[in-house]
Amino acid sequence: MTTVLQHVVRRSILRPFAKSFSSGSPLVDVQVNDKTGVAIVKMGRAPVNGLNTELLGALNDTFDSLEKNKATGMILSSSIPNIYSAGLDISEMYNGTPENLTKFWNTLQSMWINLYSTPLPTVALINGNAPAGGCLLAMSCEYRVMVGSKFVIGLNETQLGLFAPKWFQDTMVSIIGPRQTELALTSGKLFSAQEALKIGLIDELVASEEEALASSDKFFGLFKRIPGYARGQTKNFVRAEVLDWLLKNREHDTKVFLNSIQLPHVQKGLGLYLQSLKKK
Ligand SMILES: CCCC/C=C/CC(=O)SCCNC(=O)CCNC(=O)[C@H](O)C(C)(C)COP(=O)(O)OP(=O)(O)OC[C@H]1O[C@@H](n2cnc3c(N)ncnc32)[C@H](O)[C@@H]1OP(=O)(O)O
């Protein structure tokens, strides 16, 4: 079993920076700024950046490669207008075989572990709606900037007859605290941009992507004189408790997912939810 400390040390080693970069997947576009070394990673799986096994795998590979090629920071955003991510692809969870469901969940776990624990400074540039898994992606970054006030963000799983897994919940607790998390998650609340700003679920609300990029630059600028090793260690120690739970409980977490998602009433609810989305 990998402990948090082993994980931190393994991932904090510095390597030389390469200027050009390809994500290797048509679902993820990566542009690295030659001057700053900051990578803008844009999800582009039409129509709504549903997080299926392929997109999750492509994100995971991208995070790995950015670290190996020594990017200096990462902005996680979307190339789909008005959508950050619609969260987990419900089609993957509806009528899935145990093998496919297991692969899907394990890929999600790996992607999250990589994103949550990366020593790179990370910004979520939230340029669209971010329900459920979309909110998880944004919350796993260190700084959240939302562009425009018309979008919503939150963990709405209970509205689908599901529950946010413990590590989704813990990630939110670490940002807005247990009281607000409990209120939000039990009711499946999607926060408006203004509400999210007020509660601290997002750090900034800006009017344009240009402003969001300027805010991101300012955030990355905080670390100009901080040695990467010291920053990475500090980040991971702050995040250790949340991370450690999943590192130690991956199999258990997968079992909980498999048992819950295959319950007949849960499957029925997912089917109805999918239908309601398609009917719109
Ligand atoms: C223990 C179990 C733990 C399980 C954890 C689950 C976490 C999750 O992430 S569950 C996913 C929760 N996500 C949602 O509730 C979001 C649902 N989607 C929406 O609210 C809206 O689609 C949107 C606000 C994101 C976008 O609205 P918009 O009007 O632009 O697009 P739509 O017409 O609604 O959708 C277009 C198209 O995409 C399909 N779709 C939307 N979301 C999903 C999804 N999460 N998975 C799969 N497919 C999705 C929708 O059915 C439409 O399909 P058609 O083009 O075929 O009609």
Predicted pLDDT at 37: 95
Please give the number of the atom of ligand 1 that sits closest to the Cα of 257: 1
Could you tell me if the CB of 46 is within 6 A of ligand 1? no
Q: What does pTM read for this prediction?
A: 0.94
Q: Please work out whether the CB of residue 259 comes within 6 Å of at least one atom of ligand 1.
A: no
C-alpha closest to that of 66 among 105, 121, 139, 104? 121
Residue 127: its pLDDT value, please?
Answer: 98
**pLDDT block averages, 10 residues each, the chain of length 280:** 42 40 88 95 98 98 94 97 98 97 98 97 98 98 97 97 97 98 98 98 98 98 94 96 98 98 97 90
Phi, psi of 83 (to 5 degrees): -125, 120
Report d(CA 73, CA 101) in Å as an integer.
32
Shortest-distance Cα residue to atom 1 of ligand 1: 257
Residue 22 has what pLDDT? 76
Cβ of 78 below 6 Å from ligand 1:
no
**What's the rounded Cα separation, in Å, for the pair 22 and 30?**
6
Question: Which residues are part of the catalytic machinery?
Answer: 88, 133, 156-157
Residue 226 has a pLDDT of 96
137 lines ligand 1 (CB under 6 A): no
Pocket test for ligand 1, best of 49, 277, 278, 280 (most atoms within 8 A of CB): 277
8 Å CB contact between 212 and 38: no
Kindly provide the ipTM of the predicted complex, given to two decimals.
0.99
Write down the pLDDT at residue 24: 86
Ligand 1 binding pocket includes 277 (Cβ within 6 Å): yes
